[in-house]
Amino acid sequence: MKKRMSKKISAPQLVTLVFMMLILMGTGLLMLPVVTNDGQGVPFLDALFTATSAICVTGLSTFSISEQYNMGGQAILLILIEIGGIGFMSIPVFFYILAKKRVNLSTRMILRESLNLDRMSGEFQLAWYIIRIAFLIQFLGICLLALSFVPRFGWQQGLWFSIFHAISSFCNAGFDLFGNSLVSFQSDPFVLGVISLLIIAGGLGFLVWFDLLATSKRRSLHSRIALLAMIVLLILGTVGFYVTEYHSSIVSGDSIVSRFFQLFFLAVTPRTAGFYSIDYGQMSQAGLMLTMILMYIGGTSGSTAGGLKTTTVSVLIIKIRSLLKGRKRAEVFGRTIKEAAVSRAFTLFFLTLSLCFIAIFLLSITESMPGNSQFGLEYIAFEVFSAFGTVGLTMGLTPYLSVFGKLLIILLMFIGRVGIMTVAFSLMTKANRREAGYKFPDETVMIG
C-alpha cells in the first residue's frame, strides 16, 4: 500500500507537501508558551505566518521577534530559517553521509526537484557541497559580526546576535533581534558591508559557488549569466538609489563612505534579504518603484533567494535581443540557450506577474490604507512584491493585515520559496502533464 502511494506522489507534490509539513511543525513549536517572553503563547495564525516566513526565508512578521520570543523561540526560528535556506533535502543528505548509506533514485529525484536542478546526475555531491559551503560562509560571517557586536553587547548577547544575523543574512531571511532591523547601524559601514556580503553570497546560488571554486577554469553558462546579472543589478541599483535618494533625508551622515554603503545596502537588500537601515515610508516614489523591481527580480536560481530570479530575467532579455536582431535562437557567450528554458522563462514571467497583480487587486479590496494620506496603492504593492520575492521589507502594513490578508501573504511567501511551477505541477495529475500523441493543424494568429 505504501509503495502504491509513493508511486502516485510525484517529486513536485512531495516537495510541496514536505514544505507544508515543516511549516505546520514550525507553527506548533512557535505557539508554545514556553518559547515566548510573556508565557502566553502566540495565536495560531500569527505563528503560521511567522513559521511560513521563516521556512520561506522571507522575514515578514506580524510582531517584533525580540519582544515576542525568548532565546528558545529565537533558536527555533533560526533552525527553520536554516532548513528553508539551504534546502530541506540537504539535511537528510548530511545524515546519509554520516550513516554511510547509499542514496536511492527516488531520493535523488526529490533532491533534484528541491534544488531546482535540470541535471541528471551529481545531486548528492551538490547537496553535500551546499552544506559545507553554507556553514563555512556563515561561520566567517559570525566571526566578522562578532568583532562589532561583542564589544557593543557583551560576549553572550553579542555572540548570539552574531550567530542569528549571520545565518539570517546568508539565508536571505531578514529576521532581526534589534526590533528596528539595522536602522541603528545605518552609519556603520562595517556592519552594513558584512551583512551585504552575506546576502550576496547566499543569493548568488550554490551552483555558481560550485563553479567558482572548481579547479576547472571553464564556467557554465548559468554561472556566467548569474554573475553578470548580479553585478549589473548591484551597479544599476546603487546608481539608481543615488539618483533618487542621495539628497533625501533618509540617507544620513557626512562621510562619503558611509553614504555609499547606505546606497549600496539599499541595492543589495531588496534582492530577497529583507534587512533595512532606513524607513521605507519616507522613501521617494521613484525609490519605491526601484525597490519593488529589485524585489520582483530576486536572486539567482538555486540559491537561498526568491523572486523571479536573475537568470530568468536574463534569459528573457537575451531572447528579446535575439528577436530584435532577427534571430530565432537565444544566443549569448557563444552558446545557444535551450528553447525549453526560454519557454519556461516566459511562462514564469507571465504567471508570477499575474499572481502579483491579482494579489494586489484582492488586498486593495480587503485591506485599509493607514491614516496618513501620503500612502497609496504602493503601500499594498510593496507588501505583495516583498512576500512573493521572499524579501521581508514592508512599509508598515504587515502588523495590520486582516485574516484574509495574512493568509494571502502566507500563500505568496510559500509560492515564492517553493516555486510557482513546482506548486502548479504538484496540483496537476500525470495525465494532465502528458502531451498528446497527436498534433492539431498549424494556423497563424496576429501578434502586436
Place of cell 533535502: 89
**Any domain includes 191:** yes
What backbone phi and psi angles, to 5 degrees, belong to 331?
Answer: -120, 140
The DSSP letter of residue 69 is B
Exposed/middle/buried for 8, CB within 10 Å: 0-12, 13-18, 19+? Answer: exposed
**Any domain includes 214:** yes
- For residues 356 and 388, the answer to whether their CB atoms sit within 8 Å is yes
Place of cell 548591484: 234
The pLDDT mean for the chain works out to 83
**Any domain includes 355:** yes
**Number of structural domains, the chain?**
1
Q: What is the predicted pLDDT for the residue at 341?
A: 86
DSSP output for 201-212: HHHH-HHHHHHH
Q: What is the predicted pLDDT for the residue at 204?
A: 83
Q: Angle between the 378-388 and 339-366 helix axes, to the nearest 10 degrees? A: 140
The percent of residues above 90 in pLDDT, for the chain, comes to: 42
| Per-residue pLDDT tens digits for 331-362 | 888 888 888 888 888 988 999 999 999 999 99
Poorest-pLDDT segment among 7-16, 22-31, 74-83, 255-264: 7-16
Please report which confidence band the pLDDT of residue 149 belongs to, taking 50, 70 and 90 as the band edges.
very high
Tell me the residue range of the domain where 50 lies.
9-425
**Any domain includes 433:** no
| Per-residue pLDDT tens digits for 389-437 | 989 898 888 888 999 999 999 999 988 887 776 666 555 555 555 555 6
**Any domain includes 448:** no
Model confidence, pTM: 0.86
**Any domain includes 47:** yes
**Any domain includes 219:** yes
**How wide is the angle at C-alpha 160 spanned by C-alphas 154 and 164, nearest 5°?**
140
Q: What is the predicted pLDDT for the residue at 48?
A: 95
Q: Is the dihedral of CA 137, 138, 140, 141 positive or negative?
A: positive
Please report which confidence band the pLDDT of residue 1 belongs to, taking 50, 70 and 90 as the band edges.
very low
Query: How confident is the model over 246-272, as a mean pLDDT?
Result: 85
| Per-residue pLDDT tens digits for 181-235 | 898 898 899 999 999 999 998 888 777 887 777 766 677 888 888 899 999 999 9
Please report which confidence band the pLDDT of residue 307 belongs to, taking 50, 70 and 90 as the band edges.
confident
**Any domain includes 346:** yes
Whether 106 shows a pLDDT value over 90: the answer reads no
